[in-house]
Structure 1
């Protein structure tokens, strides 16, 4: 039996589910009567999604479709970081939606401080863009997970490598 138990707090998303979400969004744009002739493109890059469409109104409709499809595929809406709406050529609008991945060092410090303040027997250490939490009792780790789920952080948190 292990003397200490641990898990990692990460902020990540399933890339394939995001690809499927973009594909479904593109299909719905092509099928919807109000969006069919807008020549809208939704392109998935390595770290961002680029939406190019004809007006702010259709851009808002595309946001709604994208968020609905993402929610149905169990993707957190916190992974989307909407950038500024820019004017593109031909009276069109373009927006870059950055994809949030990883826990920033400031957020990692905030999480580990919360754990240190509320759970005396639990250790938290920042490891790159993840936070490793360890304790002698699995019950304490479960309490930490429940406490972190109550907080509203700007990124989606997942709990991995529970051992």
Structure 2
């Protein structure tokens, strides 16, 4: 008898696509008229620390830089929730700076919240937390698809993907 159908809920970022989005955003910030002569900039993606640094003359301009970055991420199929903005800090020459870390993996408390929301559906599925991944198994494929539909309709606070559906 084959094992019950299952799939994994993961939170991963395609770093190559993220790199492309960042490079496009950098180009736009350099060429845009309203950023000319300002400190507006986005650092290259630091792959080791999975971190970006956004810089601008003022907080309102920093929001515009973030908006450019988010637009490029969406075009590349990357969920903006993958960015974890750190504390806004004052930088040199009266500029402001903000680091944005890339979130990958599902933290324990978020995993438990997802697990609870799936249990609340009252479907015949089991959800097990395996490190930073959740494994959902059940006898019926329809139940598994209902779980995916539920999570797409009520997305958790981290971007999630569904892998290894079998």
Q: TM-score, normalised by structure 1?
A: 0.92
Residue of 127, 130, 155 corresponding to 2:130: 127
Structure-1 residue corresponding to 2:12: 12
Structure-1 residue corresponding to 2:78: 75
In structure 1, the gaps of 5 or more residues are none
Structure-2 residue corresponding to 1:153: 156
> Per-residue deviation at 1:86?
0.7
1:53 aligns with 2:63: no
In structure 2, the gaps of 5 or more residues are none
SS of corresponding position for 2:77: coil
> Would the alpha carbon gap of residues 126 and 103 (structure 1) be closer, same or farther in structure 2, given more than 3 Å must change?
same
Residues 84-115 of structure 1 show CA distances to partners (whole Å, capped at 9, x for unaligned) of 21111111111011212111111111222222
Structure-1 residue corresponding to 2:88: 85
In 1, Cα distance between the equivalents of 2:123 and 2:62? 48
> Per-residue deviation at 1:120?
4.2
**After TM superposition, where is structure 1 displaced by more than 3 Å over at least 4 residues in a row?**
none
Residue of 139, 143, 146 corresponding to 1:136: 139
Higher strand share: 1
Aligned-CA RMSD value: 1.6
State the aligned residue count.
163
Structure-1 residue corresponding to 2:30: 30
In 2, Cα distance between the equivalents of 1:3 and 1:130? 19
Residue of 98, 101, 105 corresponding to 1:102: 105
In 1, Cα distance between the equivalents of 2:108 and 2:145? 23
Residues 127-155 of structure 1 show CA distances to partners (whole Å, capped at 9, x for unaligned) of 00010001122111111111122213111
Q: TM-score, normalised by structure 2?
A: 0.90
Contact between 2:8 and 2:163, CA under 8 Å: does it hold in 1? yes
In 2, Cα distance between the equivalents of 1:41 and 1:118? 45
Residues 19-61 of structure 1 show CA distances to partners (whole Å, capped at 9, x for unaligned) of 0011001111111122132243312223221112222232121
SS of corresponding position for 1:34: helix
